[in-house]
Amino acid sequence: MGFFSYNCKGCDHPMLSEHATNGINSWMNEVIVLDKAKGVIAKGGYDGYGRIPQVEGDDLYRVTYDEKTGDCLEACWHEACWEKAGKPGYDGSSKSAYDQGYFFDEGAHDVVDPTKYCDCNMPADHIYEDGTVACEECHKWGDHRPTAFYERSLN
């Protein structure tokens, strides 16, 4: 199939193609790629094959494979992680994803969007079927009622 991916500089989870996401980690499809010299060079949905829409122009940008390291030359981020980190400049290249961003166990990348916060202002750990989120404590003691599906995926 030829899927491959690189890990986000912020969270170490891979860029995920749309087909590899679920309701919890769909945000891992929206990525930012920084070139060492040019800065942000690509932004948008990851296609599963190293390609992301270019910032300028209609073509897809192809992340550069580094034969020496087996990683890539660019810094890849999930857009949410990049924003949360304060939109940093290029700070070193991203590592190749061992699971190719595709062949992973169910739940392996079930992490809530880091830009989402609970009503109490704590970072969210849980997401419910209707898209609302809660932190660990509110999830435990509040009246949030997760569905069986998300209960299973997040445990």
122 binds Zn ion (CB under 5 A): yes
How far is it, in rounded angstroms, from Cα 103 to Cα 108?
Answer: 10
Given the rule CB under 5 A, which of 38-46, 64-72, 80-88, 99-107 is the region that contacts Zn ion? 80-88
Q: Give the x/- contact pattern for Zn ion in 37-76, rule: CB under 5 A.
A: ----------------------------------------
138 binds Zn ion (CB under 5 A): yes
85 binds Zn ion (CB under 5 A): no
For the chain, give the secondary structure using H, E and C: CCCECEECCCCCCECCCHHHCCCCCHHHHEEEEEECCCEEEEEEECCCECEEEECCCCCEEECCECCCCCCECCEEEEHHHHHHCCCCCCCCCCCECCCCCCCCCCCCCCCCCCCCECCCCCECCEECCCCCEECHHHHHHCCCCCCHHHHHHHC
**Nearer to Zn ion among residue 59 and residue 87 (C-beta):** 87
**Nearer to Zn ion among residue 16 and residue 41 (C-beta):** 16
Closest contact distance (angstroms) between CB of 11 and Zn ion is 3
**Nearer to Zn ion among residue 55 and residue 85 (C-beta):** 85
Q: Which two tokens stand for residue 126?
A: 């849980």
Q: Which of 81, 112, 127, 133 binds Zn ion (CB under 5 A)?
A: 81
Per CB under 5 A, residues contacting Zn ion are: 8, 10-11, 78, 81, 118, 120, 122, 135, 138
